[in-house]
């Protein structure tokens, strides 16, 4: 684990934004994506988003996320083929370009997050399921549930049921069955690997695409930007006390914004303090180490130059 001093030294050595001369650039909230012919160069920056806005940068976050996704792609490649081609830099993943399937395949092991908020408001008939009256917040489902949403290009993603997906012709029934099956197996694998590390994979989102008609897992997998993690050893106690379990993702920053800056997504974005940045970085590194069981390895050269040099060296620029 890095020391506070090591993290502090890198507070301004962050990858905030890139603008390389590669193909067609598309900037997401966290990643800078470069689409070119049959490939896509994904640069995972250090930007962090909360309440759907970018609120700052966290040193090492991009690397931690990229390397975590790389770990999971490798640990699941026997279940489904994935898009990874090359990792020329700790912050970069070069992937095979897929024809995206416009559904966010959300899998949930527990009643929490947005599903809980909808249930609490009285939602019972959701995603094509009938939820009963006796479900508690943060309760484990008997079997993980698939709660897909549409991938909205603007505004919020909307829930959609399996029936609607097939009826609207988004994908065929056969393909949806394969997606469902694959997502559940990925979630099971994620759950098993996490369990060995005292973690619960609470819920997550997968994105799939097609290459030559074959299903491919794309985007990212089991990272704190696409998943929620709880600590296993304190879950029961928290659940019984009707408290939220100790959470290992960006909930920390979200809580700081709410409690210390009174910010819930509206108005001017508050500036993160050095302290909160350092603690957030420490947590991202901790999640990486906890999940992979590996030490997080850093280089302290200027990150922007390092990324550019690695892209040049490997022929991407």
Ligand X SMILES: Nc1ncnc2c1ncn2[C@@H]1O[C@H](COP(=O)(O)OP(=O)(O)OP(=O)(O)O)[C@@H](O)[C@H]1O
Tokens representing 165 are 């997906």
When asked if residue 144 is in the footprint of ligand X (CB under 6 A), the reply is: no
Closest contact distance (angstroms) between CB of 51 and ligand X is 12
Q: Pairing state of beta strands 39-44 and 92-96?
A: antiparallel
Closest contact distance (angstroms) between CB of 241 and ligand X is 33
Cα–Cα distance for residue pair 100/218, rounded to 1 Å: 8
Pick the binder of ligand X from 61, 83, 222, 282 (CB under 6 A): 83
Order across the sheet with 39-44: list the strands. 24-27, 31-36, 39-44, 92-96, 84-89
Closest contact distance (angstroms) between CB of 201 and ligand X is 19
Sign of CA dihedral 97, 100, 104, 105: negative
Closest contact distance (angstroms) between CB of 214 and ligand X is 13
Q: Which residues contact 104 (CB under 8 A, 6 or more apart)?
A: 148, 149, 150, 151, 157, 205, 206, 207
* Residue 52 φ/ψ region, left for φ over 0, alpha for ψ in the -120 to 50 degree band, beta for the rest: left
Q: Give the residue with the Cβ less far from ligand X, 6 or 114.
A: 114
Closest contact distance (angstroms) between CB of 236 and ligand X is 33
Tell me which residues in 90-129 interact with ligand X (CB under 6 A). 95-98, 100
Closest contact distance (angstroms) between CB of 211 and ligand X is 9
Pick the binder of ligand X from 7, 14, 18, 31 (CB under 6 A): 31
Pick the binder of ligand X from 46, 203, 219, 249 (CB under 6 A): 219
Cα–Cα distance for residue pair 220/97, rounded to 1 Å: 14
Closest contact distance (angstroms) between CB of 158 and ligand X is 15
In contact, 141 and 129? CB cutoff 8 Å:
no
Strand partners, 34: 25, 41
Strand partners, 99: 210
Q: Give the residue with the Cβ less far from ligand X, 7 or 280.
A: 280
Q: Give the residue with the Cβ less far from ligand X, 200 or 218.
A: 218
Pick the binder of ligand X from 8, 17, 25, 29 (CB under 6 A): 29
Nearest to 63 by CA among 301, 272, 257: 301
Which whole-number Å values give the CA distances from 118 to 125, 160, 273, in the listed order?
10, 14, 33
When asked if residue 85 is in the footprint of ligand X (CB under 6 A), the reply is: no
Tell me which residues in 37-56 interact with ligand X (CB under 6 A). 40
When asked if residue 207 is in the footprint of ligand X (CB under 6 A), the reply is: yes
Tokens representing 168 are 């609207």
Pick the binder of ligand X from 11, 16, 25, 28 (CB under 6 A): 28
The span of 89-97, 105-113, 123-131, 271-279 binding ligand X (CB under 6 A) equals 89-97
Closest contact distance (angstroms) between CB of 105 and ligand X is 11
Pick the binder of ligand X from 15, 22, 30, 281 (CB under 6 A): 30
Residues forming the site for ligand X (CB under 6 A): 28-31, 33, 40, 83, 95-98, 100, 207, 209, 218-219
């Amino acid at each position: 684990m890095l020391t506070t001093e090591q993290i502090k030294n890198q507070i301004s050595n962050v990858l905030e934004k890139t603008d390389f001369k590669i193909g067609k650039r598309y900037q997401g909230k966290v990643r800078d994506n470069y689409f070119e012919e049959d490939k896509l160069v994904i640069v995972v920056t250090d930007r962090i988003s909360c309440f759907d806005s970018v609120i700052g940068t966290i040193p090492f976050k991009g690397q931690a996320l990229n390397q975590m996704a790389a770990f999971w792609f490798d640990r699941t490649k026997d279940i489904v083929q994935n898009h990874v081609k090359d990792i020329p830099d700790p912050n970069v993943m070069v992937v095979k370009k897929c024809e995206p399937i416009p559904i966010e395949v959300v899998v949930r092991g527990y009643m929490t997050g947005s599903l809980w908020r909808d249930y609490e408001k009285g939602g019972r008939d959701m995603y094509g399921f009938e939820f009963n009256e006796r479900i508690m917040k943060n309760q484990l489902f008997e079997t993980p549930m698939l709660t897909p949403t549409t991938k909205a290009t603007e505004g919020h993603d909307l829930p959609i049921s399996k029936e609607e997906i097939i009826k609207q012709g988004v994908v065929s029934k056969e393909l949806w069955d394969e997606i469902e099956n694959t997502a559940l197996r990925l979630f099971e694998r994620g759950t098993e690997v996490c369990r060995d590390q005292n973690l619960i994979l609470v819920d997550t989102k997968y994105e799939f695409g097609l290459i030559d008609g074959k299903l491919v897992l794309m985007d990212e997998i089991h990272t704190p930007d696409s998943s929620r993690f709880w600590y296993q050893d304190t879950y029961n106690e928290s659940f019984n006390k009707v408290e939220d379990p100790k959470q290992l993702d960006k909930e920390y920053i979200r809580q700081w914004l709410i409690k210390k800056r009174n910010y819930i997504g509206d108005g001017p974005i508050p500036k993160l303090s050095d302290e909160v940045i350092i603690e957030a970085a420490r947590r991202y590194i901790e999640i990486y180490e906890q999940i992979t069981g590996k030490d997080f390895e850093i280089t302290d050269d200027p990150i922007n130059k390092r990324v550019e040099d690695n892209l040049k060296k490997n022929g991407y620029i």
